[in-house]
Chain A
Amino acid sequence: MAEPVKEWTADYDIFSREYIKDPFPIWDDIRGKCPVAHTDRWGGSFMPTRYEDLFNIAKDIEHFSSQNVLVADVMPTPEQIEREQNMTEEDQELIQQYNVGAPPITSDPPVHTWARKLLLPPFSVTTVAKYEAETRELCKELIDKFIDKGRADGAVDYAQQIPPRVIASILGINKDDADTFTGWVRGFLELGLTDPELREQSARSIFEFMVGQVQQRKEQPGDDLISYLLAQKVDGEPVPEPHIVGTCFLTLVAGIDTTWSSIGSAIWHLAQHPEHRKQIIEEPGLIDNAVEELLRAYSPVTMARYVASDTEYAGCPIPEGSKVLMNFPAANRDPRVFENPDVVDLHRAKNPHIAFGVGIHRCAGSNLARMEMKVSIQEWLKRIPDYRLEDPDAVTWAGGQVRGPRKMGVVFPS
């Protein structure tokens, strides 16, 4: 068991139970005391919590590089180090060849610029709209399975089921494997952040799967994202295959945990706020604004930056090699920018939230995530307008890099 935290500005612990369950008062505490908090835990990092600071740091890509965006350094186990030392030359070459990271999220310009440009059209508002009808159908089918029972797990039976199937459809991979994908992604991004063996295994599974999919699409192109990427040219040349594998890896990893967490938090919030359910039901045009407000209040994603050269921010020296946590969720609760930030106001007029980041790495999947949130909330409220948490204290949360409910029993009249 880790030592309890006494002073959050100098010793925060983003994996502590307290932080994962209710980070909001902690952010308020830090925000009020200093612009950049620091900790030695989990490999050490710095953490801004004020909106303006997140904005500025996200824009300073020269000092704050994206080459490592994980919120904790995963230290290899002695067994892993030994395996690496005893690797065959063949394996070493393969790793070298595929060592491109997950572009564009782990890229800096100039690679970032073309890697991102490649990915924007398939996730544009218009392209994403093509998946709306099937997402609606999917939500209906999920609800069919539990509507008669008067009880469901809003996270496991609903929120968790939606994003993996939608992204599978976009990638042209089998939707029936959705549970497998979810397992890999959790192993990589959630449980894997504190379990290096699991993380490596999960990464290898996704990687091998994607390599296989790319080979298959080369032989048999289809109407899907992998085939699209294979057909693209950059400076007159086809996109290198390791790059395509890296990007497909990213879309799977970036699209599942995040959106599932957002949908889950929305269902969790609405379970406790009948007045908000009523507003959305009676005023259908409110849905877009409601989605933005729920994204603001329950932003799921904290990213990180790698400090490329010694720098200073707000008087705080940050040495080269440091990790900076991009606490977008805390920025979105900053009273300097948002009036009554802890109140969810579905009619909020001024809401420049940065749940999807800000600057050149703005979430490429934001249009897709918004569509999934909108449709899943609408379909839920259509069938289950009246529901509540079965036991508020029994809800469990994941946190660290991505925050959202993982077990959430709800009950409703059947």
Chain B
Amino acid sequence: MRLKKVTVDSEKCQGHNRCYAMAPGMFKVDEYGYATPRGDGVLASEADIELAQRAVENCPERAIEIIEGEG
């Protein structure tokens, strides 16, 4: 099955905290504000995909992506 996953490009992330503020269950931030997806980033439901999509659209650094991978 093809899985959707959310990723954060650590080279691009500048810690705006937008993703964490809107989806704290999906992202975590370290003490410098840099974000990473929680767990493996797999988007298990339509609701999760939608939430991740919103994070993509609000990240000013264009650091967040939704990718399709083998599961």
- Partner-B contacts on A (CB < 8 A): 117, 120-121, 124-126, 288, 292, 349-354, 356, 358-360, 362, 366-367
Contacts and interface: CB of A to CB of B under 8 A. Distances in A.
Contacts of A288: 21-22
B14 A359 contact: yes
Contacts of A120: 15, 31-33
A125 B58 contact: no
A361 to B, nearest CB: 9
A349 B21 CA distance: 14
20 contacts: A120-B31, A120-B33, A124-B29, A124-B32, A124-B33, A125-B17, A125-B20, A288-B22, A292-B18, A350-B57, A350-B58, A353-B60, A358-B14, A358-B61, A359-B14, A360-B14, A362-B15, A362-B16, A366-B16, A367-B17
How large, as a class, is the contact surface on chain B? Answer: 10 to 19
Interface of B: 14-18, 20-22, 29, 31-33, 54, 57-62
A125 B14 contact: no
Contacts, number: 51
A366 B29 CA distance: 14
Contact of A349 (B29, B54, B60): B54
A2 B33 CA distance: 45
Contacts of B22: 288
A366 B59 contact: no
B15 A352 contact: no
A288 B54 CA distance: 14
Contacts of B32: 117, 120-121, 124
Given A288-B21, A352-B60, A358-B60, A124 B31 contact: yes
B57 to A, nearest CB: 4
A358 B62 CA distance: 10
A349 B16 contact: no
A356 B16 contact: yes
Given A120-B15, A362-B16, A366-B17, A354 B60 contact: yes
A352 B59 contact: yes
A352 B33 contact: no
A148 B62 CA distance: 48
Which of A117, A350, A360, A362 has the most C-beta atoms of chain B within 10 angstroms of its own C-beta? Answer: A362
